[in-house]
């Protein structure tokens, strides 16, 4: 079975990531526990959902590998403050030994490079992401963006678009099937929205190593819950394929 590296961890493909978001630490802790109980392979902590991020580190450590994200509002997140403060959370996560940090390509370059450098020195994986909540561009545009992410020093690249119809959803899957030969790092790609929902299930068939699912309230449009995602993937991609 194929695997991929996430910091010090080696995970089987596809790995189901339970996305956890909440207004307070207690809610997020409950969400993480639920993701573990439901059989998630790793957990995404969305710190941008907290009303007050002070003390977010109390969520660590967890029994599963952790991707730490602090998503800005320009890319669909809830963080509206200063970029230095936003990135500070990711740097704290590296110090605390999370498995991976998710840094948006749109982050000012000096801050982005600081995160990449610090993570590399600490053996922490860098997932570099790009979110488009308005449309699904052409395959050529998506491929060029992916190359820019890979060139910025990430270990995994994540491209997320919004699908208005089935043609958009098909384009994302076609892009994923083609881009694997163009870029050296693993590519996570899918489309949000009702029309893009099928891509969350189909993307792992085309090589996407991580499938995101909700551990409680959905963190993005069209997201499945962990149990449903694991069941559907087990039927599409039998163990030992």
Give the H/E segment covering residue 150: helix 139-151
Q: Does residue 220 carry a pLDDT above 80?
A: no
Residue 1 confidence (pLDDT): 62
Q: Rounded CA gap, 154 and 180, in Å?
A: 15
Q: Is 131 a catalytic residue?
A: yes
- Asked whether residue 100 is assigned to any structural domain, the reply reads yes
Q: Rounded CA gap, 85 and 94, in Å?
A: 15
* 88-144 pLDDT, tens digit each: 999 999 999 999 999 999 999 999 999 999 999 999 999 999 999 999 999 999 999
Q: Does residue 48 carry a pLDDT above 70?
A: yes
Helix, coil or strand: residue 52: coil
Q: How many domains does the chain have?
A: 1
Residues 6+ apart with CB under 8 A from 94: 101, 115, 118, 119, 122, 124
Please state whether the peptide bond connecting residue 199 to the residue before it is cis, i.e. omega within 30 degrees of 0.
no
The percent of residues above 90 in pLDDT, for the chain, comes to: 90
Catalytic residue, candidates 34, 130, 131, 230: 131
Range of the domain at 75: 3-128+196-236
- Asked whether residue 46 is assigned to any structural domain, the reply reads yes
- Asked whether residue 149 is assigned to any structural domain, the reply reads no
Residue 35 confidence (pLDDT): 96
* 144-170 pLDDT, tens digit each: 999 999 999 999 999 999 999 999 999
- Asked whether residue 203 is assigned to any structural domain, the reply reads yes
Catalytic residue, candidates 158, 167, 230, 239: 158
What global pTM score does this model have?
Answer: 0.95
Q: pLDDT confidence of 219, banded at 50, 70, 90?
A: low
Summary mean pLDDT of the chain: 94
Residue 238 confidence (pLDDT): 67
- Asked whether residue 136 is assigned to any structural domain, the reply reads no
- Asked whether residue 135 is assigned to any structural domain, the reply reads no
Distance set, CA 213 to CA 71, 110, 118, 151, 222 (Å): 17, 31, 28, 28, 10
- Asked whether residue 211 is assigned to any structural domain, the reply reads yes
* 179-210 pLDDT, tens digit each: 988 999 999 999 999 999 999 999 999 999 99
- Asked whether residue 153 is assigned to any structural domain, the reply reads no
Q: Is 130 a catalytic residue?
A: no
- CATH number, domain containing residue 217: 3.20.20.70
* 82-98 pLDDT, tens digit each: 999 999 999 999 999 99
Q: Does residue 55 carry a pLDDT above 80?
A: yes
């Amino acid at each position: 079975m194929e695997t991929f590296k996430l910091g010090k961890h080696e995970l089987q493909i596809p790995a189901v990531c339970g996305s956890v978001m909440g207004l307070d630490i207690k809610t997020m802790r409950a969400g993480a526990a639920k993701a573990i109980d439901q059989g998630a392979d790793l957990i995404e902590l969305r710190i941008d959902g907290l009303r007050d991020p002070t003390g977010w580190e109390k969520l660590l450590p967890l029994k599963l590998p952790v991707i730490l994200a602090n998503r800005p509002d320009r890319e669909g997140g809830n963080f509206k403050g200063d970029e230095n403060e936003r990135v500070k959370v990711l740097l704290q996560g590296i110090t605390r030994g999370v498995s991976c940090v998710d840094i948006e390509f749109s982050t000012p370059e000096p801050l982005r490079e600081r995160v990449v450098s610090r993570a590399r020195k600490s053996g922490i994986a860098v997932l570099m992401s790009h979110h488009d909540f308005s449309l699904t561009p052409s395959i050529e545009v998506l491929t060029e963006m992916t190359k820019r992410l890979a060139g910025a020093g990430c270990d995994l690249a994540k491209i997320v678009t919004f699908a208005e119809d089935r043609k958009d959803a098909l384009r994302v899957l076609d892009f994923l099937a083609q881009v694997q030969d163009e870029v050296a790092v693993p590519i996570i790609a899918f489309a949000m929205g009702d029309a893009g929902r099928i891509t969350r299930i189909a993307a792992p068939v085309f090589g996407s190593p991580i499938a995101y699912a909700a551990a409680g309230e959905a963190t993005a449009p069209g997201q499945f819950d962990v149990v449903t995602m694991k069941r559907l993937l087990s039927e599409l991609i039998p163990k030992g394929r």
